[in-house]
Amino acid sequence: MLLKDMKKFFPGKGPREAADFEKLPAHVAIIMDGNGRWAKKHKLSVSKGHRQGTETLREIIRHTDDLGIGSLSLYAFSTENWKRSPEEVAALMQLILDFFRSEIDELDAKNVRIRIMGDKGGLPEKQRDTLIEAERRTEKNTGLNLNIAVNYGSRAEIVLAAKEIALLVKNGELQLNAITEQTVSDHLYTRGQPDVDLMIRTSGEMRLSNFMLYQNAYAEFTFPAVLWPDFTVEAYDQALATFAHRQRRFGARL
């Protein structure tokens, strides 16, 4: 049932309860793309584009939480984004700090559990400390799993998992034959969470750009044409409705 129909049929329900009637994804991943083009379109600096993007981010996290979706993974900064100008990288790093400082109280109050995907060791000290503190502060929370990818690359994540597993085998703590797909999943940043059901990339680009290659094996994809700062809760609902209509087969003949 579509979200709008659901509201019609169950007007008394809040979004969280209403979501019980909906074919919602358990895990949504979003590649938040298009801040640069948005800035250009509005004749603003690229950092203004990124700042506007954080407004969208707030709304989307809030809506995901309201719907009762279990996991939300967001691509904020890739290992390849260091290739951008020092000014742009600095602006993005500042935004990461500002975002966590301004949102952490509300997120914690809403029982959101924050996890950072990516190499925190490669970040400036202030950013690293702030991210570690956000994870620590919310580690006992049991609500929405909010995974934020900062200095993240999926291949690097898989390499890290391979090294961790190899070490277990080397130390005699794991038999080679006991390694399964689940073992690999258990060594990714998203360990303990389901695979991605719905992947959304804004701005019309249709590629993964090194985001969650393993977790996306059977994800459904949508590519809304809007730039990330223009992405709305309505557009998000539309992507969720599209997902609800998709027939997933996982290789079987239905």
Indicate which residues carry an active-site annotation. 33, 81
Out of 3, 57, 72, 75, the only residue in the binding site for ligand IPE (CB under 6 A) is 75
Q: Which residues of 182-194 are buried (b: 16+ CB within 10 A; e: fewer)?
A: eebbebbbbeebe
- The Cα 218–Cα 62 span in angstroms is 26
Angle at 28 between CA 249 and CA 185, to 5 degrees: 75
Is the Cβ of residue 148 or residue 227 nearer to Mg ion in the bound state?
227
Sheet with 27-31: strands ordered across: 113-117, 145-152, 71-78, 27-31, 198-201, 220-222
Q: Applying CB under 5 A, which part among 29-37, 46-54, 228-236, 239-247 lies near Mg ion?
A: 29-37
232 near ligand IPE, judged by CB under 6 A:
no
Is the Cβ of residue 9 or residue 82 nearer to ligand IPE in the bound state?
82
78 near ligand IPE, judged by CB under 6 A:
yes
Which backbone phi and psi does 71 adopt, to 5 degrees? -135, 140
Out of 33, 65, 88, 157, the only residue in the binding site for Mg ion (CB under 5 A) is 33
Out of 195, 205, 230, 237, the only residue in the binding site for ligand IPE (CB under 6 A) is 205
Contact partner, 77, from Mg ion, ligand IPE, none, Cβ < 5-8 Å per class: ligand IPE
Phi/psi-derived region of residue 227, left when phi > 0, alpha when psi is between -120 and 50, beta in every other case: beta
Q: CA neighbours within 13 Å on the CB side: how many for 216?
A: 22
Contact partner, 123, from Mg ion, ligand IPE, none, Cβ < 5-8 Å per class: none
Enumerate residues 103-122 that contact ligand IPE by CB under 6 A.
none
H or E stretch at 148: strand 145-152
Is the Cβ of residue 112 or residue 150 nearer to ligand IPE in the bound state?
150
Contact partner, 75, from ligand IPE, Mg ion, none, Cβ < 5-8 Å per class: ligand IPE
- The Cα 19–Cα 68 span in angstroms is 7
36 near ligand IPE, judged by CB under 6 A:
yes
Enumerate residues 141-200 that contact ligand IPE by CB under 6 A.
none
Contact partner, 76, from ligand IPE, Mg ion, none, Cβ < 5-8 Å per class: ligand IPE
Out of 25, 34, 118, 229, the only residue in the binding site for ligand IPE (CB under 6 A) is 34
Please enumerate in sequence order all residues whose Cβ is within 8 A of that of 199, keeping only pairs 6 or more positions apart, or say none: 28, 29, 30, 31, 212, 216, 219, 220, 221, 222
Contact partner, 35, from Mg ion, ligand IPE, none, Cβ < 5-8 Å per class: ligand IPE
Shortest reach from residue 75's CB to ligand IPE, in Å: 4
DSSP 19: G
- The Cα 51–Cα 249 span in angstroms is 39
CA distances from 17 to 68, 113, 221 (A): 8, 20, 26
Note the residues at the interface with ligand IPE (CB under 6 A): 31-37, 75-78, 81, 92, 203, 205, 207, 209
Note the residues at the interface with Mg ion (CB under 5 A): 33
